[in-house]
Structure 1
Amino acid sequence: MKLLLVEDDFDLSGVLSRSLSSRGFELLCCADGIEALAAARKKRFDVIVLDLSLPGLDGLELLQRLRGDGNLTPVLVLTARGAVGERIAGLNAGADDYLAKPFDLDELIARLGALTRRLGRDGELRCGQLRYEAASNAFYRDQSPLDLSPREAELLKSLMSRVDHVVPKEALRSAVFDDATHVDAVEVLVHRLRKKLQGASVEILTLRGVGYLLCDDASTAAQKA
């Protein structure tokens, strides 16, 4: 698993680097927000561990820029214990989870596993009856292939990479279209995709003014119960 560790505390970064490497993680460590942003834009990571207090570019701004780029890599934010405002700001900016310092290494590894568990072997993504195979770059409803346009496929891939998390509309626009395309084009694409996903036991929820969320019907029913 490829992990980007963004932490300016060299002692903590060193401990985490040695410990996570011994657990099978392939790490790149950055102590500066600008350096980390460049690394995340250049290389694909499976997960990012992000401290918010960074020189050069603070972690919150770094996270916002990544999501603005359409980068949907799972992000676990490290915060000071009791810093509720930091946790809320990080989650609102697109973080997937947070962990308060000081923390237990086993808990960190468990949380990283939970964040990346939806990405199965060989880059497989699942939600309800939907399945995406990275090797063939194909989507299936159970065993039947889905007939999707390239843009529909890219949109669905972006949503499936963050199942049960809100994906900002701007992030989807950046992932699917060029910079000249109006963000409202995402709404049209979502409408078409919803029609093709009927009967697949999934739902694309709209959070007005925020973005879209893909979840399976079982999760939706549980939330409404």
Structure 2
Amino acid sequence: MRVLIVEDEHKIANSVKRGLEQEGFAVDVIYDGTEGYDMASTEEYDAIILDLMLPGMDGVTLCKKLREEKNHTPILMLTAKGQIQDKVTGLNSGADDYLVKPFAFEELQARVRALTRRPQNGGNIILKTKDLILNTLTFEVKRSGKRVFLSRKEFSLLEYLMRNPDRIISKDQIIAHVWDYNADILPNTVEVYIGYLRKKIDNAFPNSTPLIHTVRGFGYRLGN
């Protein structure tokens, strides 16, 4: 899952970024509303954490512009203001949820995960393909009833593939959803991680049907 944080308070933004990365998210941080709008409208994200008061372009304007452009990425609005009218303004601009500062990181994380589970993002907590099961809350992966241990990046890659079963996913799409904008991606990075997954998901279960397939010239597909 890839998340964009648009927040001008560097300490808060960087703290949230570190916390989400520890939970397996790929995270981009922007400190200015205008730059945040540019990123949100040109890159693909699974959720946006958006401050209400920003330099360049305020959060309400940014949110409205994205919705006018039919960008339906889930948005969690942050603000230091707790008045009802501020909440109403944020939600009426198109935000999906609202959180008042100061907040506990655990609550923010729970709200972000809830937003990414909504129908436009694939919806389910438990993902299943044949005998492969992935739990997005406990980070457990099992195949044929046996626990499979994955790194955070391997888990994120597998989750993205399982949210798009039987679809051909290009390397660019994988990079856009699994790695953040500033990640140092080598030409063979995706192939390497696909190889890691194959060893743990397919090769380790010789009696099960291989699930990860390479579609030469196009990308990868997870399914029968």
The Cα shift of 1:125 comes to: 5.4
Specify the SS of the correspondent of 1:71.
coil
- In the TM superposition, structure 1's runs of 4+ consecutive aligned residues that sit over 3 Å from their partners are 123-126, 133-137
Q: CA RMSD in A?
A: 2.0
Where in structure 2 are the equivalents of 1:43-192 lying within 5 Å? 43-119=43-119, 124=122, 134-135=164-165
> What is the aligned partner in structure 2 of residue 42 from structure 1?
42
- Percent identity, aligned pairs only, is 43
Specify the SS of the correspondent of 1:27.
strand
CA spacing shift, 1:111–1:125, aligned 2, 3 Å: closer
Specify the SS of the correspondent of 2:24.
coil
The Cα shift of 1:31 comes to: 0.6
Paired residue type of 2:97: D
User: Is the 2:5–2:28 contact (alpha carbons within 8 Å) kept by the matching residues of 1?
Assistant: yes
Distance 2:25 2:119 in 1: 15
The Cα shift of 1:119 comes to: 4.9
1:49-76 C-alpha deviation (Å, 9 max, x unpaired): 0001000011100000000110000000
User: Is the 2:50–2:76 contact (alpha carbons within 8 Å) kept by the matching residues of 1?
Assistant: yes
User: Is the 2:116–2:123 contact (alpha carbons within 8 Å) kept by the matching residues of 1?
Assistant: no
1:185-222 C-alpha deviation (Å, 9 max, x unpaired): xxxxxxxxxxxxxxxxxxxxxxxxxxxxxxxxxxxxxx
Length-normalised TM-score, structure 1? 0.54
Specify the SS of the correspondent of 1:39.
helix
Aligned: 1:19 with 2:26: no
Distance 1:82 1:59 in 2: 15
Paired residue type of 1:99: L
User: Is the 2:117–2:123 contact (alpha carbons within 8 Å) kept by the matching residues of 1?
Assistant: no
Specify the SS of the correspondent of 2:64.
helix
Paired residue type of 1:21: E
- Identify the structure with bigger relative contact order (alpha carbons < 8 Å, sequence gap 6+): 2
The Cα shift of 1:83 comes to: 2.5
User: Is the 1:53–1:59 contact (alpha carbons within 8 Å) kept by the matching residues of 2?
Assistant: yes
Distance 1:41 1:115 in 2: 19
Specify the SS of the correspondent of 1:102.
coil
Structure 1's unaligned 5+ residue stretches are 127-132, 138-225
Distance 1:20 1:32 in 2: 20
CA spacing shift, 1:35–1:43, aligned 2, 3 Å: same
Specify the SS of the correspondent of 2:21.
helix
Paired residue type of 1:55: P
Distance 2:11 2:122 in 1: 36
User: Is the 1:3–1:46 contact (alpha carbons within 8 Å) kept by the matching residues of 2?
Assistant: yes
User: Is the 1:81–1:102 contact (alpha carbons within 8 Å) kept by the matching residues of 2?
Assistant: no
User: Is the 1:52–1:77 contact (alpha carbons within 8 Å) kept by the matching residues of 2?
Assistant: yes
Query: What number of residue pairs does the alignment pair up?
Result: 129
